[in-house]
Structure 1
């Protein structure tokens, strides 16, 4: 069994605990937390499993890493603390661990990552012999390996579009929804999620990764943003009221431009209520879906819907976590290094049929 720790127990970390518990080759040996209120709590409790796993959460990073875990799922946030996240991950790699994480956007396309991000990781790999694989939680597979795989089914390809379509009304992250995405804010409010250059910082690496998979050169990456206001005041089950006239829907694209045309596009279509922007793309059922559209001959469209305990938001996160956790045993067998989605194969779930966390 591969000794594995989870570092951080938020939306990603609690799902990682479940995925590790369900994996036949992995053994959860420690959980690291920052919140003092979580210290000492059982991992099964933190993951919402309804049973104890016999692993108590700790805030003692040095002691946990001194135990030389073979793998680390780094689930702590990185978007607002990238330097700290890099330092944490490098520390785990120097301890000899394979690390998987969604937290370092710049390493989605690790070959073209800036030196200030890549160099500390490569130094840690050289020193400690660990590895790193970064894949997004939006989910990464929908913006990298899935479109790359589907492109192999086509004859000619004119454009590739990856969509996340989501209704935030059931999403239990009010600060993110109201202040980062901007739902319920005045229409002159600029959501940080779509401030100039931010979408490219987050998703540009995946655009470059797809381009590399297809063997094409990008001229540039562009961004487009569209917002719609609510026609009526609406009330959500998890976050309360959103007033008429405030932002009710947000749509943006990160476009890989080739010959002055958007040929590789990552698009997010988000709403706080289905009634807002009904002319925009919608999921086939429920509150969310991920879709890949390949324009060409033939035209290919694949829509993926995932639920976790009936929750679409957690379902998407769970598949993203599954991609990371299911890569651990492959990474342990591979040579130390810095890997991306084109390096790490998507494999069948061998030995998992019928298993539950």
Structure 2
């Protein structure tokens, strides 16, 4: 069993606790929290499992890392605190842990990452012998390994498109939906996620990875952006009221340009209510959302993935699959050489030993 720590207990952390608990090769030995109000609470309660796990959360980072855990699932946010997240992650690597995390966008494609992100991780690997695998919660596998896998059964490939189509009214994270993406804000407000170049910072690494795997030379990466206002005031299940006239839908693309054309595209279509921008792509069944891969070529191939968790909530389901990808890589990383890995390095493997196991 691989002694594993989950660091953070928000939307990603609670899913990570469940995933570690369910994995036959991993043992949950500690849960790290930032909030004093969570310290001392059982991990099962924080993960909403409905049963105790016998592991109490702590905010004592030093004591947890001094115990030399073999693995850390770093689930704390890095959106607004990338420097702090980098410091936490390198600290865990120096303690000898293999770390998996969605927190550092620049390291999704570490070969092209800025030196200020890549070099501290490589130094920590050299000092402590740990490793890092970073992959997204959008989810990362839907923007790298899945489209590449599907492209392999095509005869010819003209373009690859990865779509996230979501209604965020059920996504209980107002800091991301209202502040980062700008839902419910005036259309003249420029939220952080929609500032020019930020989408490329977040998803450009996945564009570059796909281009590398496909043997395609990228001319450049471009962005497109459209925003729509709500026609009427709406009340959402998870985040309350969004006023008429404020931003209710966003559609943007991060485009990998090959020979002058957008050939590798990551597209996001997000809403807080289905009535906003009805002419844009919507989930085929009117549900919370889907991820879709479209391979334009011969034959044309379309794959739609709908994941649910916590009842029928697909906004959580997508996060759960991203967490499953990260946690499922821990035992592979523990057996591999210390290093900095990306999605093309780390294989996606069957759920060995998990078939028929009781749900956590």
Q: TM-score, normalised by structure 1?
A: 0.98
Deviation at 1:94, TM superposition (A): 1.0
Equivalent residue, structure 2, for 1:150? 150
Q: Does 1:332 align with 2:334?
A: yes
Correspondence 1:154-173 to 2 at 5 A: 154-173=154-173
Q: Does 1:19 align with 2:19?
A: yes
Classify 1:175/1:128 alpha carbon distance in 2 versus 1 (closer, same or farther; 3 Å).
Answer: closer
Unaligned runs of 5+ in 2: none
Correspondence 1:276-291 to 2 at 5 A: 276-285=276-285, 286-291=287-292
Equivalent residue, structure 1, for 2:67? 67
Q: Does 1:302 align with 2:303?
A: yes
> 3-state SS of the aligned residue for 1:36?
coil
Q: Distance in 1 between matches of 2:186 and 2:86?
A: 35
Deviation at 1:145, TM superposition (A): 0.6
Equivalent residue, structure 1, for 2:319? 317
Equivalent residue, structure 2, for 1:234? 234
Q: Distance in 1 between matches of 2:352 and 2:219?
A: 41
Q: Distance in 2 between matches of 1:96 and 1:128?
A: 5
Q: Distance in 2 between matches of 1:214 and 1:187?
A: 38
- Contact conserved, 2:288 with 2:313, CA < 8 A, in 1? no
Deviation at 1:176, TM superposition (A): 2.1
Q: Distance in 2 between matches of 1:80 and 1:246?
A: 23
> 3-state SS of the aligned residue for 1:57?
coil
Cα deviations by residue, 1:72-130 (Å, 9 ceiling, x for unpaired) = 00011112111111111111111111100000100111111111111111111111111
Equivalent residue, structure 1, for 2:270? 270
Q: Does 1:3 align with 2:9?
A: no
Equivalent residue, structure 2, for 1:203? 203
RMSD: 0.9
Equivalent residue, structure 2, for 1:183? 183
Equivalent residue, structure 2, for 1:111? 111
Q: Distance in 1 between matches of 2:237 and 2:309?
A: 18
- Which runs of at least 4 in structure 1 moved beyond 6 Å after TM superposition? none
> 3-state SS of the aligned residue for 1:16?
helix
Q: Distance in 2 between matches of 1:284 and 1:246?
A: 26
> 3-state SS of the aligned residue for 1:211?
helix
Unaligned runs of 5+ in 1: none
Q: How many residues align?
A: 357
> 3-state SS of the aligned residue for 1:45?
helix
> 3-state SS of the aligned residue for 1:38?
coil
- Contact conserved, 2:14 with 2:46, CA < 8 A, in 1? yes
Q: Distance in 1 between matches of 2:242 and 2:57?
A: 37
Deviation at 1:241, TM superposition (A): 2.2
Deviation at 1:239, TM superposition (A): 2.2
Equivalent residue, structure 1, for 2:354? 352
Greater displacement, 214-223 / 182-191: 182-191
Cα deviations by residue, 1:18-38 (Å, 9 ceiling, x for unpaired) = 001001110000011110001
Equivalent residue, structure 1, for 2:79? 79
Q: Distance in 2 between matches of 1:132 and 1:172?
A: 28
Equivalent residue, structure 1, for 2:120? 120
Q: TM-score, normalised by structure 2?
A: 0.97
Q: Distance in 2 between matches of 1:273 and 1:249?
A: 8
Deviation at 1:179, TM superposition (A): 2.2
Deviation at 1:63, TM superposition (A): 0.8
Deviation at 1:237, TM superposition (A): 2.1
Deviation at 1:243, TM superposition (A): 2.1
> 3-state SS of the aligned residue for 1:257?
strand
